[in-house]
């Protein structure tokens, strides 16, 4: 199926000043093309959590948004250092964020669970060279599923 739109957003490690900008652009794009507000909310929450994970934990990477007639794809690829135990990382409340980051209100251990809860398809693979998160959101399904 041919994608009708694709845009990539570079994410810089530890760039807290620009944190959330990629997610804001994604939200604006979805709003501009008339996606259901409830679905926009789900994509925005997932995008923001993925963006923050890359800023806090990774060496940086790329978020890529692709929109086909029936699906929104969000791919998040970073360059490491990877997640050593994905099963633990998926548990609500588990976090490896350092104390200074927790003081800012991050590191609640809700990031990956929030992403999974808000996406229709969730796939994560990780090794020392990086983490690859692939999300799908069904456009034709009722937006406020979770």
Chain residues in the site for other proteins (CB under 8 A):
16-17, 19-21, 23-24, 27, 44-45, 48-49, 52, 104-106, 108, 110-111, 114, 117
CB of residue 139 vs other proteins: minimum separation in angstroms?
Answer: 20
Which of left, alpha, beta for 70 (phi over 0: left; psi -120 to 50: alpha)? Answer: alpha
CB of residue 144 vs other proteins: minimum separation in angstroms?
Answer: 12
Check the CA dihedral 40-44-46-51 and report its sign. positive
Q: In this complex, which beta carbon is closest to other proteins, that of residue 37 or of residue 69? A: 37
Which residue do the tokens 């692939």 mark? Answer: 134
Q: In this complex, which beta carbon is closest to other proteins, that of residue 68 or of residue 110? A: 110
CA distance 6 to 74: 10
Q: In this complex, which beta carbon is closest to other proteins, that of residue 70 or of residue 92? A: 92
CA distance 108 to 36: 29
């Amino acid at each position: 199926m041919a994608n009708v739109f694709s845009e990539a957003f570079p994410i810089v490690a530890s760039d807290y000043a620009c944190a959330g900008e990629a997610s804001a652009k994604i939200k604006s794009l979805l709003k501009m093309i008339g996606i259901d507000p409830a679905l926009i909310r789900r994509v925005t929450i997932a995008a923001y959590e993925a963006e923050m994970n890359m800023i806090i934990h990774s060496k940086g990477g790329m978020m890529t948004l692709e929109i086909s007639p029936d699906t929104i794809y969000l791919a998040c690829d970073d360059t490491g250092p990877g997640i050593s135990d994905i099963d633990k990382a998926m548990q609500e409340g588990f976090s490896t964020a350092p104390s200074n980051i927790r003081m800012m209100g991050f590191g609640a251990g809700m990031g990956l669970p929030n992403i999974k809860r808000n996406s229709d398809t969730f796939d994560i693979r990780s090794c020392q060279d990086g983490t690859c998160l692939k999300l799908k959101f069904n456009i034709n399904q009722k937006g406020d599923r979770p």
